[in-house]
Structure 1
Amino acid sequence: MADILQRPGASPRPTPTRRRTPTADALVEKIAKLDLLTEIGTVRSRSDLNFRGNVRDVVSLSRTPALGPPLLCSVCQHKTPVFGKPPRWFSYAELEHATGGFSRANFLAEGGFGSVHRGVLPDGQAIAVKQHRLASSSQGDVEFCSEVEVLSCAQHRNVVMLIGFCVEGKRRLLVYEYICNRSLDTHLYGRHKETLGWAARQKIAVGAARGLRYLHEECRVGCIIHRDMRPNNILVTHDFEPLV
């Protein structure tokens, strides 16, 4: 089985110097057993995923490595995460630094699951960091681990990509790519709402439907039911490319 964990630093294996609880060790061990690289290789070979005209496809489907990741948004110049890479194991210190100490200036949202903050990695990759409010229970860790396992294999141009995660003490964080132009509801109902042209409306509707179809019917880990499909859970770039 492929070792999918990419540790902060050079070695992918846990080092004795990092102190973790037995629960965290068990959680990381379970994630490490996921044969993600084989899974992604199978998905990348499928011809029905070869949608043309989208920068995310260039990264996920091209046989020739590009000089650098293409842009996710032509306005913000944010880079597209590389498809086919396993999720990275971040340290809490790395994410704290990337988000400016989870500052209010970088705050994005708050929900029952916890808070979300914007951040920037040293390589310039913009990220959204979701902190999980987990009770100190094995059930909470099981749910978190299951989410990492499933989302690690769900890679599609209209699905927000999981870049990595953090397991440190009682802290559980997920690191996603950052989508720059807010959620769809802010464009429909927000204070600064704008009139969307028909081309943008069609692009959003078709893209969101493709993302759902992938999750429901095409994801190799099985059917993933979204359960909460609504405008505030559809993110868009300034090019109005939707991601669920």
Structure 2
Amino acid sequence: MHVIIIEDEKPSARRLQRMLKSLNLQTQVMLHSVEEAVNWFQNNQHPDLIFLDIQLSDGLSFEIFEAIEIKSAIIFTTAYDEYALQAFKLNSIDYLLKPIDADDLTYAVNKYKERTPKKQAVTLDFNDIKKLLVNPLDREYKKRFSVKVGQHLKLINIDDIECFYSENKGTYLHTNEGRNYLLDNTLEHLENELEPKTFFRINRKFFININAIKDMVSYTNSRLQIELNSYNEQEVIVARERVKDFKAWLE
């Protein structure tokens, strides 16, 4: 994967480069101004992914797009949130506010990878083809989860679950009775197991049950804060990029 960083603050650029290295992403080029970036794009093959600061030393990075047609995917990195709408009009994957959080960066990179077609042959057997042809309305979703309580296993019906959430590298379910249970699955694994009409992933940490929503309130940066019937251990926030889909899901 060809990755570049455009950032006028060299310490910030080096920090981001180290963070990306920990995610096995090597940055071949670092640029520091609008002029330098325009010259580079005019004379080089465009990268797969750009980490782009918005306020550069000689202007806003949006000026780059006025001079050059760029089809690379972009993850914006900035200390300001007022440019979010303008950023999302471009080919942007995410909008990270400085100082960049490692979890937010990981989420953004994974989002890019999920949106990028994998260049490999795919072999399907007959059972795989049957699964693809199944009407989504006829699909069987998870109806219960088994959780470990001491030396015992407990079955919890899906209708009794308010939400699934991740915390400290663990995945938990929260019941209507206000109990939390550790699961072996990740939230990513749950994507294909939960009935999409009932459960929605509002951000990288939460799936919520539509029947458990008690209240919804406008929150900063065009987000929504959700109040569930009994869960109150963390703020439950619909991510900005998920708000539109969330509203459609509610209807």
Structure with bigger gyration radius: 2
TM-score (norm 2): 0.27
Structure with more contact order per residue of length (Cα contacts < 8 Å, sep ≥ 6): 1
Which is strand-richer, 1 or 2? 2
